A and B are shown apart, each in its own frame.
Chain A
């Protein structure tokens, strides 16, 4: 039964994806993309990937849609009609699809416990998590301890992308567009009373959930990446309701930049502290004398915090860079 539900979700996802590509109105395309992300999140959950589902729902369906919409506001939402023939593209795509589908016949069937991918490192990760880290969420253990180098790299990529966006379309102006002279113009959604009231009610709970996901990530699905995205989503919601300028007066742009850099620095700093204490880079065992397991848990909490701070700071800087850019 659950398999059929998965088939249904994936069929819907394919239809939505075709809708995204065919929609002439880019606004409709972006909204369909949000639905597509939500369908993918549900599929990931069915495939036992709770952490990934949470990330996809927060980032793919939430933040990504908002960023796309703020870019559309600057670039125009209508796609021009084209009569150009697309036969060549269709041929290329069909050949690619046929080749890859042919290749899938060699793949192990879905859920096969004897597939090569299940044999190699996964059992080792379970054994070592039980032995050396003792936290229930193995995904978090692999993410922040066994593959800490990877995660540090990803955090640096996020940070670098944030810098790139700021270089391209400028840092958010501290004053914003909402000068008193245009007081009659609608700022944010101030004139939509019901949305404003309901939205504001939701913000504290989103923030609380973000902190729960951050600090409970060792025991339940979650961690720095999801928490950072949720935190950013709460502030973005506030910015949409009250205008970007008001939101920026609560978290000024310099604070956001400091968060982007500080989180990555905290992550790297933990690694350096490990080296100073005589271990290898990001080898948390040495952090707490006499208790390697406790030290591992301490290191994981510290670097997850760094991840969360960087992701939240970078996503918010990116959002405000788009939202406060002059539409002239």
Chain B
């Protein structure tokens, strides 16, 4: 039982990671891809935080000057804390690019956008050949 519980968090990390990965590679919708990327990212957060947990430990905040209690590892928490805020910034950047793609091509579906881009290219080429 403890064997299974001891690895459960890592298996959930794998599941969440591949769910996000699947959305990124299989879904043509660009917003859906970004959602998948966020799930992928949350999975990595879970991996780091799970690794820092110590049995019987508590959050690494010293109470009443008692430095001898068992604490979980603060370092993964620091890394993930900043990664979450950086994650939202990159997500916002991705969303801004999606909004611009929507305005330029009229769609946020990957394949339609590529097709629309190729059609524009063809029009330009034929216009140039007529001249």
Chain A's interface: helix, strand, loop or mixed, by majority? Answer: helix
The answer to whether A157 touches B59, judged by C-beta atoms less than 8 angstroms apart, is no
Cβ-defined contact, A71 with B7, below 8 A = no
A122 to B73, CA, bound (A): 6
Q: B16, A89: Cβ atoms under 8 Å?
A: no
Q: Which has the most chain B C-beta neighbours within 10 Å: A11, A68, A229, A314?
A: A68
By DSSP majority rule, is chain B's interface helix, strand, loop, or mixed?
A: helix
Instruction: Count how many chain A residues have C-beta atoms less than 8 Å from C-beta atoms of the other chain.
Output: 101
Chain B: number of interface residues, binned into ranges: 35 or more
Interface pairs A-B: 5 shortest CB-CB: A109-B6, A161-B89, A111-B55, A89-B26, A48-B72
Nearest CB of chain B from residue A222's CB, rounded to whole Å:
10
Q: List the A side residues contacting B59 at CB < 8 Å.
A: 48-51, 221
Assess whether A52 is in contact with B81, with CB atoms less than 8 Å apart: yes
B96 surroundings in chain A (CB, below 8 A) = 71, 164-165, 168-169, 321-322
CA distance A110 to B109 in the complex (A): 41
How distant is the Cα of A26 from the Cα of B63 in the complex, in angstroms?
45
Say if the beta carbon of A17 comes within 8 Å of chain B.
yes
Asked if A130 is at the interface (CB within 8 A of a chain B CB), the reply is yes
Q: Mark B9-25, 1 if CB is under 8 A from A, else 0.
A: 11110111111111101
Q: Could you tell me if A20 and B7 are in contact, using CB atoms closer than 8 angstroms?
A: no
Identify 25 residue pairs between A and B in the complex whose beta-carbon atoms are under 8 Å apart, listed by A's number: A7-B8, A13-B12, A17-B20, A21-B35, A29-B31, A40-B46, A49-B76, A52-B81, A68-B91, A75-B108, A79-B29, A79-B32, A80-B29, A93-B18, A105-B7, A107-B10, A110-B9, A111-B57, A117-B51, A122-B73, A142-B74, A219-B61, A220-B61, A314-B89, A325-B99
When chains A and B are docked, how far (Å) is the Cα of A45 from the Cα of B78? Answer: 14
Asked if B26 contacts A143 (CB within 8 A), the reply is no
Given known pairs A47-B72, A112-B55, A147-B78, the reply for A17 and B49 (CB within 8 Å) is no
Which residue on chain B has the smallest CB distance to residue A166? B96
Nearest CB in chain B to that of A326: its residue:
B103
